[in-house]
Amino acid sequence: MTVLFRVADLTAELVADADVECLQPLLEHCEDYHQLVYGRPATEDEARRFPSERPPGLTPEQPHLLALRDAHGRSVGVLEGLRDHPSPGEWYLGLLLLVPEVRGQGRGEAVLRAYADWVRTEGGRLLRLAAVEQNEAGRRFWVRMGFREEKWVGPLEQGLRMNRLVRMTMTLG
């Protein structure tokens, strides 16, 4: 796998669509997140759904899925993004998820900062994301990291839940 960046004790490696199964144990381990957002545990095909849930019309270079591995090579997180979506220079962050035992130690902040630096070097000037209303800790994290609320949307069906989401934006200086 291709390493995009290293930060703290984590390595961010590109995961090809053909290899998404490697993320399934991580997704199942993050049951708290899936219950909060989808109202259910991760499905048996949760990892395989990454490529199929992308917006239509993307070029092969736009989507990227990163496995975040610790110093022992264990998958402890995942980051999903889209380059130049919806417009050139605007990147969309679809997911940043860490396993429960590594949260709250500054790793999420370190990963986001390193990712933002990488996005800048690739010509990105703006990061966008959508946070679910009931994930208050997640929304506080994004605001602390410099994201600003843009617009509330929904409710949208996600798994067994109807969620309202807030679109958020961070300008990359």
pLDDT at 45: 94
Tokens of 93: 């962050």
Q: Are 132 and 138 in contact (CB under 8 A)?
A: yes
Q: How many structural domains compose the chain?
A: 1
Q: Residues 165, 95: contact at Cβ < 8 Å?
A: no
How many Cα atoms are found within 13 Å in the side-chain-facing hemisphere of 165? 17
Specify whether the CB–CB gap between 128 and 169 falls below 8 A: yes
Q: pTM of this prediction?
A: 0.94
The residue type at 62: Q
pLDDT of residue 52: 87
The verdict on whether omega for the bond into residue 25 sits within 30 degrees of 0, i.e. cis, is: no
* Separation of alpha carbons 109 and 111, rounded Å: 5
The per-residue pLDDT string of the chain (173 residues; one tens digit each, 9 = 90 and over) reads: 799 999 989 999 999 999 999 999 999 999 999 999 999 999 999 999 999 899 999 998 999 999 999 999 999 999 999 999 999 999 999 999 999 999 989 999 999 999 999 999 999 999 999 999 999 999 999 999 999 999 999 999 999 999 999 999 999 98
Q: What is the CATH number of the domain that holds 131?
A: 3.40.630.30
Domain that holds residue 49: 3-171
Predicted pLDDT of residue 43: 94
